[in-house]
A and B are shown apart, each in its own frame.
Chain A
């Protein structure tokens, strides 16, 4: 059985380490906040100018001045701080964020990422995505293995306009997990399978080169 959205988020949460400063992308990555392991302290950064993002607010806490990067209302925590967008991206670009978990349209076997534009169809802009992947220390992608029309999203080379080159460290899909060689020419390493998923099924749905190295 392929992993559900929640299971994907739970698997991604295993990449968190105690003391990490983490940026969670819009969509499935935001669910990672619900799966932070016991005893692991993680501070969430929101690129619109906040460190220490809290959960969704109670009804009486709603504040239009307190939103996350997805424009949803959120709450603050005792250790929260606010700052401008230039300070926020100085923090990101300057390599101070340990981990970014974000979605993707395509990932290539050498770690290229495309997640901001489909020419002629979706041209909304890159937002903070390019800065994030260029600046954070570790980048984990969480996505469906195939697109809605059945095509593989794990490719030899991305076809869509790139968000960043050789930026992805780990790919978590609903079918399994791949480690990426960002530096050399090694193929992807398949290190985990979702429950009930076979290597054959992954091979059929993956265009990129990979070797099996199940942990």
Chain B
């Protein structure tokens, strides 16, 4: 009776991107540094050779990250991000004027994407008031304090990374690899997720689903191993 025929699981990253990527597309990419970075999907995106992409991402990953391939291929015309300092190659190409960067404060970026998925076209925040971030934006007083209006951010595609998916597309994330992934999942026309574990529907406790499957269109098994940017240990 509850027969759901739509199969969201695809055989490979390439297959999952097939038919969805186009020149000029706006693509959200999850991750904070290397944590939760959808490396399989980025690798496949680099192989599509789609051009003039707008990439929306928290930061530019880290040195050696597969994200660099998109810039080496000159596929990116605009980057919307809070920080590019973590990658020398991407920073250098930006300073050479190879692509445009729109810097957005990280919290504003997170909230704007959340609003993009939540049907809220704009919200007010105190972040960035009286800084360059506020220029050209509408200002408003609430209880005597000044705020600026920030617009929602949406995309054509969201590429995200999760720990576990079931056949429904219900997702769970692990620790600090959650970050922008759940928010981006809601804010794009098509959401593609790479996961470490695929489980049968019903195995994830419903109270602990981090992203309900309604937001997820395509799922693939991730095979690229995880990376660490700055390994620090203690001995005692």
Contacts and interface: CB of A to CB of B under 8 A. Distances in A.
B226 interface: yes
Interface in A144-168: 161-165
Contacts of B126: 93, 134-135
Contacts of A165: 129-131
A59 B233 CA distance: 6
B81 interface: yes
Contacts of A78: none
Nearest to B32: A48
B183 A86 contact: yes
How many B residues are at the interface, by size bracket? Answer: 35 or more
Contacts of A131: 105-108, 125, 127
A23 to B, nearest CB: 12
A24 interface: no
B123 to A, nearest CB: 10
A66 B82 contact: no
Contact of B228 (A62, A85, A122, A135): A62
Interface in B181-235: 181-183, 210, 226-235
A56 B234 contact: yes
B179 A85 contact: yes
Interface in B84-123: 84-86, 91, 94-95, 101, 103, 105-108, 110-111, 113-114
B84 A125 contact: yes
A174 interface: no
A204 interface: no
Given A65-B177, A131-B105, 6 more contacts: A71-B32, A86-B182, A123-B94, A131-B106, A162-B130, A164-B130
14 contacts: A48-B32, A57-B234, A62-B233, A73-B230, A82-B173, A85-B32, A85-B107, A92-B107, A125-B84, A126-B106, A128-B106, A134-B127, A135-B126, A135-B127
Closest 8 pairs (CB-CB, A-B): A124-B85, A131-B107, A89-B107, A125-B83, A71-B33, A165-B130, A64-B226, A130-B105
Interface of A: 46-50, 55-59, 62-68, 70-74, 76, 82-86, 88-90, 92-93, 122-131, 134-135, 161-165
